[in-house]
Every structure is written in structure tokens, then in C-alpha cells.
Amino acid sequence: MHGISAFRPFLRSTLLAAVAFAAFASPLAAQQSWQGGVESQPLAPPPGVMDGPVQDPDSPPGGVGVPSIMDDPDAGAPRAPAQAPAEVPGQATVGPSGDIEVIQPPEQKVENRTAVFSGLDKITGRITSFDVAINETVQFGALRITPRACYTRPETEQQNTTGFVEIQEISLDGKVEPLFGGWMFASSPGLHGVEHPIYDVWLTDCKQTAPVIASPGGQQ
């Protein structure tokens, strides 16, 4: 009994040391096990903070390569979308499909006061040239001719004379019936011609001056 009583202090000190070591070793082992088994991920930024790397407080505002509000007051303002360059007439551009496209300049029309016609009498073979004012009517043989418009192009452009003409036919019993109504082209007289067994009429030119009054000739 005396020997056991003497051994008790040694057992008590040994147990206290073991308990202290276990208390110290348990958090370290748990920490090592947690770091090895779970992948660490960065936390989401708080509301109202832009996602991106944290800026060094000692670095200049905006960071490297970022415009600062101190240097450019409009750095944070919304930017307008980039606009395509304006198309210039006569300039060649590359289209969406890769083909080269040439922008044609708009056609400019010059209004004229007088239309110039040529009339053919197929029986006699005689050709007569005569002027007619816009919206006025003249008679060539059995035809009544009324030009409604006569257009040319500026001298700097390629000429293309066109006119809108209405033509009526006077029958033997005195009735007036429409024969032709449409555009005539001075460069292509036969494109829209007058179909008549005796007479033929086509546009030849336009004038800014008043018409010259002359007898058209032909049969009356």
C-alpha cells in the first residue's frame, strides 16, 4: 500500500501531460485535414462592388492602363456606339460579302419649259421638227401631242433626255381618242414609240427657252 501511494503522484503528472498534449494536437490535426480535403474559393464581392482584382490603395486611381476620373472627367460616362463612315458617292467600298461596291451618285434632273419632237409622215416620208411648251397641245397631222414633263441632266453628267407625253388621235368623224401616254427617251426613240399606221412621233430634246411657233406640216 505504501508503494502504490508513492506511485500516485507520478501517474497524476503523466495523465495531466497526456491530456495537455491531446488538447494541443487535436486543433492542429483538424486544421491539416480541412485544408487538404476542401478546395478554397474566393468569396463573391459585396453588393455594389465591381468584380475584379482588388486595387492597391497606394496605386493611382483607375489602376495601370485604366483612365482615371481625375484625368478624364468623361471616363465613366457611357460611350456612344461607333457609327459607320458616311458613304461618299463615286467611292468604292467593300460590301458585307467581300465584293467591291461602287456608290453611284444620285441623278439630278433639270426641268425644262419646252419639249422638242420630230414627226414622220409615212406616206410622204417627210420628217418635221417642232417645239411644244409643257402642258400645251399641238397638232401634227391627225395627232394631238401634249408634253407633261421634259427632263435633262446637268452638263457635268452624262446626258439623258426624257419626257412624259400624252398623244391623242383625231378620227375621220372628229372623235378624239387616246393613243399614247408614257415616257419617251431621246436616246432610244423606238423604246416607247407611237404605233400609228401613218404618223410617227418621238422626243429629240428639251429646252429652257419658249417654243418657236412653226407649222408642223403633214396632213391636217
Spatial distance between the Cα atoms of 117 and 128, rounded to a whole number of angstroms: 8
**Is the CB of residue 136 less than 8 Å from the CB of residue 146?**
yes
- The pLDDT of residue 163 is 95
Per-residue pLDDT for 172 more than 70? yes
∠136-140-144 over CA atoms, to 5°?
A: 45
57-115: pLDDT as tens digits: 555 554 555 555 455 555 555 665 556 555 555 555 665 666 666 665 566 889 999 99
Spatial distance between the Cα atoms of 30 and 40, rounded to a whole number of angstroms: 16
User: With bands split at pLDDT 50, 70 and 90, how would you rate the model's confidence at 11?
Assistant: low
Residue 142's contacts (CB-CB under 8 Å, 6 or more residues apart) are 169, 170, 171, 198, 199, 219
Q: What's the pTM?
A: 0.50
Domains of the chain by residue range: 110-207
Q: How confident is the prediction for the chain on average, in pLDDT?
A: 73
Spatial distance between the Cα atoms of 27 and 33, rounded to a whole number of angstroms: 10
10 Å CB burial of residue 165 (0-12, 13-18, 19+) is buried
